Amino acid sequence: QVSMKGYFNPSKVSCHHLLAASIIIAQATQVKMMLRALLLIAACASSANAFVPAAPNARSPATTSSQLQAVAIETTKIDDLIQANSATIKELSAIAPDFADIDLLRFALGFDTKQEAAASLKESVAYRAGSGKEIVEAAQKAYAAAISDGGWNNDIVRDMAPHASMINKFITEKNIISVSTKEGDLVYIIRASLIDDKKLMQTVSVKQMGDFFMYVKEIHNLVANARSRQNGRLSQVIFANDIKGVRKPPDAKFSKALTESSNQYSKLYPSLAGPTMITNLPFVLQAFVGLIKPLFPKVVQDRLKFVRAPVLGAQTDLTPIARDPATKKAFLNEIEKLLR
């Protein structure tokens, strides 16, 4: 037996020792809670629940994308990608003849093998004809209405979302917004600490929240594909998950809705997600980055960045980035530098 004598003598423990011990315990507890929160925010990265502004008119040169490195050519030009993957696209079209080339291209690029791509495409076809039919059709109608005047009416898309009357009270431009890069990619910013997920999940069920998330994914897909056709460049969704203010893990039911919807993301919407940034990580967690990254799904790890974003961090909420042109420009410049 190993004696503990000398290691812990209650008579010799001072208030300073107790204070130091309590600080260590508190920090360990905070780290544990923050790790749990980060894992759920990773799910949120696949379920970013905000909508999109009108597409920019700027046309960008071809750039390299980490999402496409499995392909023989390093480009985001649509025509080049379709030509390079024409054989796979032809095979996939037999499974989903109603899918456009750009949809089939995303499946061709999103998997290591044709068999995996085909299996996921079959799942997507089944989803669109079955359990996801109403959600997909609602998103398509909302998208058509939002662009009917030549611009983008975000209120229409928000109001036509499943269970919008309940959910939109909690999901606002204070906590989740979207902006567009000059290249035409979508940047979705999430300030998780400003979502009152507990009250939200007292208002809606896990299924209702999941329906909302899946609706948003379809909106993302429609917008990204439209921009890809317009610019001739494959558009993606860049996620900026701001950790500022996170002190506790998400509500269990909210977490379940996020996880269930995110599990479908890479299969139903491959090659849509771009880089994922975890921004403004608290000092107490910065030393744990090497341990945190392996906790994320492999598909997220490959495009994951832990970065400081001072412009984003300086905002009390996300409204200035959405409303103030100068703040928005400063944020987009910051994002551009962080992605280099």
Amino acid residing at 33 = M
- Amino acid letter, residue 273: A
- Return the pLDDT at 253: 92
* pLDDT in the model for residue 101: 96
- Which amino acid, 43? A
- pLDDT, position 251: 87
- Contact status, residue 123 vs residue 200, Cβ threshold 8 Å: no
Question: Locate tokens 């690029």: which residue?
Answer: 109
Q: For the chain, what is the radius of gyration of the CA atoms?
A: 22
Q: Give the lowest-confidence range in 74-78, 89-93, 160-164, 202-206.
A: 74-78
Mean pLDDT value of segment 235-245:
91
What's the predicted TM-score (pTM) here? 0.78
Q: What is the Cα–Cα distance from 154 to 46, expressed in whole angstroms?
A: 20
Residue 75: the pLDDT is 63
Query: How far apart are alpha carbons 106 and 273 in whole angstroms?
Result: 10
State the pLDDT at residue 255.
84
Lowest mean pLDDT among 7-21, 67-81, 198-212, 293-307: 7-21
Beta-strand relationship, 237-242 and 186-191: parallel
What average pLDDT does the segment 27-53 reach? 50
pLDDT band of residue 40 (cuts 50, 70, 90) is low
Mean pLDDT of 99-115: 94
Question: Could you give the angle at the alpha carbon of 191 between the alpha carbons of 311 and 231, nearest 5°?
Answer: 70
pLDDT top residue among 50 and 230 = 230
Amino acid at the residue 287: A
Which candidate, 335, 330, 274, 340, places its Cα nearest to that of 308? 335
Amino acid letter, 295: L
Give the residue-averaged pLDDT of 31-43.
54
Here the tokens at position 201 are 């999940």
* pLDDT score, position 70: 38
Question: What share of the chain has pLDDT > 90, as a percent?
Answer: 54
Higher-scoring residue by pLDDT: 225, 251: 225
pLDDT of residue 14: 46
CA angle 241, 244, 248 (to 5 degrees): 95
